[in-house]
């Protein structure tokens, strides 16, 4: 039985000063660090947006399109984003104050330029999977706590996919360890998650008094 923490896209690009900042995105880091240190997790995963420079979700790749307009990608509606989290750039790196030395596995996503990838589990068209579900099954996951950036996009879709792809696993959205862009969209995301059977909790509810049985694990990378 393994309790897992999934930290979604806590990268420079999604924090103040980044190319696609979420308001107060950096404020998630102290809360997440407390979960990392005291949450009693047997396995910790961080997802990382890792886009090629010519990713099709970028407005810069579509003549006449502006950021935050709706466009099209591979025949489907697509929000046009600013260039962000491009592979190998500072914008794509994890926040430097996030305790990445405690993370066991990094799941990169968004590498296929022809489809956007909000979820850490599969692309938005739901045809290509990242392999994270199988990785967690190998670890014997029984409970998954999901947090990070941004609530109504990558966090929400990661949590919903976890609920759909990890049968029998209890999925929890950690609200105060996450931030969103639009209050209205965040409220809708919470309703969607609750409807899927996902518990909405605060970090304080998830921190046990003691954590004596968690052994450190080797850090692994998925490139």
Does residue 104 carry a catalytic annotation? no
DSSP letters spanning 44-71:
EEEEEE-B-TT-TTBGGGSTT--TTSEE
SS3 content of the chain, % helix, strand, coil (to 5): 30, 25, 45
Q: Which of 15, 85, 147, 154 is catalytic?
A: 154
Q: Annotated catalytic residue: which of 9, 91, 104, 123?
A: 9
Active site residue 109: yes
Maximum Cα–Cα distance for the chain, whole Å? Answer: 57
Pairwise CA distance, residues 141 & 31, whole Å: 22
Write out the E strands in the chain. 2-8, 43-49, 70-73, 76-79, 105-109, 141-149, 170-179, 199-201, 220-222
- Tokens representing 207 are 């921190």
Catalytic-residue membership of 91: no
Q: Which two tokens stand for residue 194?
A: 């609750």
Tokens of 197: 């059977």
- Of the candidates 109, 147, 161, 190, the residue annotated as catalytic is 109
Label residue 160 exposed, middle or buried (CB < 10 Å: 0-12, 13-18, 19+): buried
* Whole-angstrom distance, CA of residue 55 vs CA of residue 222: 20
Q: Which residues are identified as catalytic? A: 9, 109, 154
């Amino acid at each position: 039985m393994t309790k897992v923490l999934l930290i979604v896209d806590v990268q420079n690009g999604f924090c103040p000063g980044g190319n696609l900042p979420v308001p107060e995105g950096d404020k998630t880091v102290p809360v997440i660090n407390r979960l990392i240190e005291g949450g009693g997790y047997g396995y910790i995963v961080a997802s990382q947006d890792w886009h090629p420079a010519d990713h099709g979700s970028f407005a810069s790749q579509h003549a006449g399109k502006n950021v935050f307009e709706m466009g099209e990608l591979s025949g489907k509606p697509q929000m046009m984003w600013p260039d962000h989290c491009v592979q190998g750039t500072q914008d794509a790196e994890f926040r430097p104050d996030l305790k990445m030395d405690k993370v066991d596995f990094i799941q990169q996503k968004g590498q296929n330029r022809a489809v956007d990838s909000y979820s850490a589990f599969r692309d938005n068209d739901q045809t290509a999977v990242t392999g994270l579900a199988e990785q967690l099954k190998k670890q014997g996951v029984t409970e998954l706590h999901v947090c990070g950036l941004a609530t109504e996009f990558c966090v929400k879709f990661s949590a919903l996919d976890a609920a759909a792809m990890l049968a029998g696993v209890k999925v929890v959205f950690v609200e105060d360890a996450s931030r969103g862009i639009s209050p209205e969209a965040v409220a809708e995301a919470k309703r969607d998650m609750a409807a899927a059977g996902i518990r909405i909790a605060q970090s304080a509810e998830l921190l046990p008094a003691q954590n004596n049985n968690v052994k450190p694990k080797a850090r692994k990378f998925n490139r």
